[in-house]
């Protein structure tokens, strides 16, 4: 299957228009590159549901709170294009910075109530910039549906709210987190971990599982957090940023567990920040 690669918005729109004129459903997979099995799951789902699969590869500088983090972010375009070709993508959009931000950005998309906890508390302005670049990509591609991983649960909730509240005619398709055999959520940042950090990093998923087991057996918020924190304390090399139990839609911490909750955590392994979450229903 041939893969078309474009880096200008007019070329992108022309290619999408040709696909739409052929009666194809357009699916968008937004990425920042450094593609891995998690992205592969998004591509596979899009390929199964859409006649034309569009992948965007753009490392968005606005959403990085630290300049060094942006500069260190892996950029592996040749490998990414090969990955997209192998997974059956039809079109890849690889814009330069000036194509996405031709001038200083004056208008932003913000979701304050969904951003004030979890990652948003520790990364001020991050989700404002994520939502803005996703809105830009939605306007550039105008897909029928877009695919996002559940690993970034807060991002997913914000994108879903943006589409609902701003009447954007795009279906948002959540795709389950892809994990290594030991439970670690696959992330482009995992390659930064040395051997010891990689072993310690599994504690985050184990902590979430302990909290989920506590909730499943009837435990409350305090019980679940205690079960999770006990595991994390046994890994002194990890610095815990947060471990919270939140409402899956509002992303606000809950006092009581009723129905489904999302157990979310973020830790630092050296200079590498890792996030993960699990959805769990109460025992009632």
Domain identity same for 131 and 209: no
Domain identity same for 15 and 114: yes
Say if 192 falls within a structural domain.
yes
Q: What is the CATH number of the domain that holds 262?
A: 3.30.1300.10
Say if 260 falls within a structural domain.
yes
Domain identity same for 68 and 108: yes
For the annotated catalytic residues, the residue numbers are 39
Domain identity same for 170 and 216: no
Domain identity same for 91 and 231: no
Say if 154 falls within a structural domain.
yes
The sheet that has 272-281: what strands, in order across it?
Answer: 238-246, 260-269, 272-281
Domain identity same for 206 and 162: no
What does the pLDDT read at residue 46?
Answer: 98
Over residues 112-127, the mean pLDDT reads 96
DSSP string, 42-54: HHHHHHHH-SEEE
Residue 100 corresponds to which tokens in the numbers above?
């996405």
Domain identity same for 66 and 203: no
**Is residue 219 pLDDT above 80, yes or no?**
yes
What does the pLDDT read at residue 1?
Answer: 59
Domain identity same for 166 and 204: no
Domain identity same for 168 and 115: yes
Helical packing angle, 195-216 and 221-233, nearest 10°: 160
What does the pLDDT read at residue 283?
Answer: 77
Kindly tell me the sign of the dihedral angle through the C-alpha atoms of 240, 245, 251, 253: negative
Domain count along the chain: 2
What does the pLDDT read at residue 250?
Answer: 97
pLDDT tens digits, residue range 12-31?
A: 999 999 999 999 999 999 99
Of the chain, the end-to-end C-alpha distance in Å amounts to 50
Say if 24 falls within a structural domain.
yes
Q: What is the CATH number of the domain that holds 153?
A: 3.40.50.620
Domain identity same for 248 and 168: no
What does the pLDDT read at residue 68?
Answer: 86
Domain boundary among 153, 175, 197: 175
Confidence band for 61, pLDDT divided at 50, 70 and 90: very high
Domain that holds residue 272: 188-279
Say if 180 falls within a structural domain.
no
Domain identity same for 171 and 195: no
Using a 10 angstrom Cβ sphere, with 0-12 exposed, 13-18 middle and 19 or more buried, the burial of residue 164 is exposed
| Cα(3)–Cα(216) distance, integer angstroms | 46
Q: How do beta strands 260-269 and 238-246 pair?
A: antiparallel
Domain identity same for 52 and 166: yes
Confidence band for 72, pLDDT divided at 50, 70 and 90: confident
Say if 133 falls within a structural domain.
yes
């Amino acid at each position: 299957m041939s893969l078309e690669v474009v880096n200008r918005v007019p070329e992108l729109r022309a290619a999408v228009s040709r696909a739409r004129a052929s009666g194809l459903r357009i699916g968008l997979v937004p990425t920042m590159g450094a593609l891995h099995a998690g992205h592969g799951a998004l591509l596979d789902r899009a390929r199964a549901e859409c006649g034309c699969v569009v992948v965007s590869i753009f490392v968005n500088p606005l959403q990085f709170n630290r300049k060094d983090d942006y500069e260190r972010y892996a950029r592996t375009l040749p490998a990414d294009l090969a990955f997209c070709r192998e997974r059956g993508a039809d079109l890849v959009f690889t814009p330069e910075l000036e194509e996405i931000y031709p001038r200083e950005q004056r208008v932003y998309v913000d979701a304050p109530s969904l951003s004030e906890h979890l990652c948003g508390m520790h990364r001020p302005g991050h989700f404002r910039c994520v939502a803005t670049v996703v809105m830009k990509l939605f306007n550039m591609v105008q897909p029928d549906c877009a695919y996002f991983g559940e690993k970034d649960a807060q991002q997913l909730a914000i994108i879903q709210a943006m589409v609902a509240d701003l009447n954007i005619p795009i279906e948002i398709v959540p795709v389950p987190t892809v994990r290594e055999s030991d439970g670690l959520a696959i992330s482009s940042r995992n390659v930064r971990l040395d051997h010891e950090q990689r072993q310690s990093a599994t504690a985050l998923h184990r902590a979430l599982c302990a909290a989920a087991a506590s909730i499943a057996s009837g435990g409350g918020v305090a019980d679940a957090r205690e079960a999770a924190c006990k595991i994390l304390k046994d890994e002194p090399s990890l610095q815990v940023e947060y471990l919270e139990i939140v409402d899956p839609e509002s992303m606000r911490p809950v006092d009581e567990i009723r129905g489904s909750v999302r157990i979310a955590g973020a830790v630092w392994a050296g200079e590498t920040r890792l996030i993960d979450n699990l959805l769990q229903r109460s025992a009632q």
